[in-house]
Amino acid sequence: MLARASLAAAGAAAPLAAIAALLAGPAWIVLAVSAWSALVAFAVRAPQLWPGMSGLAARRALAVAWALALIAFVFGVFGHYAIAVDHSLCGGGTGATSVAAAVAAGVYLAAGVLALRTGGRAVWAWPVAVLLGWGVHLLLLFALPGAHGFCET
């Protein structure tokens, strides 16, 4: 179970840390290298994660599942961007944003553990877990007090 949660965390952290290293500065390089190293290590050891699959099939399932999860993440970013612009223009508290992000990350990790139980399930369920995390985050941005204010334009 810990391996699946670690894979879900590395799968999300690798591209995010790489973007942060490019945009925010070199301090993020250590996290980016660590996350990418972990993701590559999971790809090498994928047959041990899913023992019922051959080595090639397990690695292929991991690569396809991660690519689809990354695509789902990009779609989630666009949806989040539209809400975040409204959120920043219409007022909102940073505490609610942090709580929403923390809860969404927890939901994503829990769903990721379930999604990564088998290689076949990972292909469709890992992207669903990513979208579920984004959905929870957006829902909480609207639901938590101080997260969204009245906007008159």
**Which is more confident, 114 or 97?**
114
Q: How far apart are CA 73 and CA 130, in angstroms?
A: 6
Band (80; pLDDT cuts 50, 70, 90): confident
Token reading at 139: 């829902």
Q: Distance between CA atoms of 58 and 64, rounded to whole angstroms?
A: 10
pLDDT in tens, 116-144: 888 899 999 999 999 999 999 888 877 77
Output the pLDDT for position 91: 59
Alpha-carbon span 87 to 44, nearest angstrom: 42
**68 confidence band (pLDDT: 50, 70, 90):** very high
Least confident segment among 8-17, 78-87, 111-120: 78-87
pTM of the model: 0.82
